[in-house]
Structure 1
């Protein structure tokens, strides 16, 4: 499975902020939850709650400007992903204390732990390259960001 199977161009967004915007970690996760959308009777409010609960355990900011907020709910039947790019960065209490510019959210069924972990590993591998992260952050539109991910996965021969 490729990440673009879990994403869609509609679930990729770019949030351009300025220094005086009140855009923080909780706001970013709320926007990510909205982008993930309602599925299988699960509301965006429930998705946001699960993402924030996971975040309260330990930041999903893995360093180098990347966070992978994720969670699981029993009523979901499939995994869904969303990508939020914040070029100016958002404070996220990441492992390296650097602001996060790429938030890759994943939500899925509680019973599919193995697939969920594989997806998180795919995201991590995809975003390992500094050059690729820079191209994503500089994408001029959401559709261009989605195309970048699609091309990167195709280059990796069938997914990362």
Structure 2
């Protein structure tokens, strides 16, 4: 599955104003729930929070990749946001986070989940990609940088 099949423009937001990890996860849940029939905002939030309790998904260098599995989800859904101001995410390097890629997948697709996480991590491991994402000033620009062929992230 390609990232452009799971990340849509309406789930891509630049300069989000949330001031905490919890609020950010709530915002992400609000973006994901309408994309998944029969899944509530609370279901999404609980899945993300359960995963965070296992250990922070803040992977360092200002990046977090929160993710979770949903029993009733019929398809994977992704969210990409940058923060107006970095938030504490309990990242492994103790640095605040300003780039977040969230992924929610059906519970019965663990291999796809891992492949997608690996692809996202590969892109976000590129300094030029992160630099370009941080410079984006609109949702469209953020979306294009992350997904378009020939951009800093591809």
The superposition leaves residues 32-75 of structure 1 with CA deviations (integer Å, 9 ceiling, x where unpaired) of 11122331200111101110111111000011111011000111
CA RMSD of aligned residues (A): 1.7
In structure 2, the partner of 1:134 is: 131
Which has the larger share of strand? 2
Match of 2:64 in 1: 67
- Mapped partners of 1:83, 1:37: distance in 2: 15
> Are the aligned partners of 2:13 and 2:139 in contact in 1 as well (CA < 8 Å)?
yes
1:98 to 95, 98, 109: 95
Per the alignment, residue 150 of structure 2 pairs with 155
Deviations 1:4-50 (A, max 9, x none): 21101110012354xxxx71110011111112233120011110111
Mapped pair 1:32 → 2:28: yes
The alpha-carbon deviation at position 100 of structure 1 amounts to 0.5
* Alignment partner, residue 4 of structure 1: 4
Q: Compute the TM-score of the two structures, normalised by the length of structure 1.
A: 0.89
1:12 partner SS: strand
- C-alpha deviation, 1:147, in angstroms: 0.7
What secondary structure, in the 3-state scheme, does the structure 2 residue paired with 1:133 have? helix
| Contact 2:78/2:104 (8 A) holds in 1 | yes
Aligned counterparts of 1:16 and 1:115: Cα–Cα separation in 2: 28
TM-score by length of structure 2 reads 0.92
Gaps of 5+ in 2: none
**1:99-126 deviations in whole A, cap 9, x for unaligned?**
1011111001111000000010011011
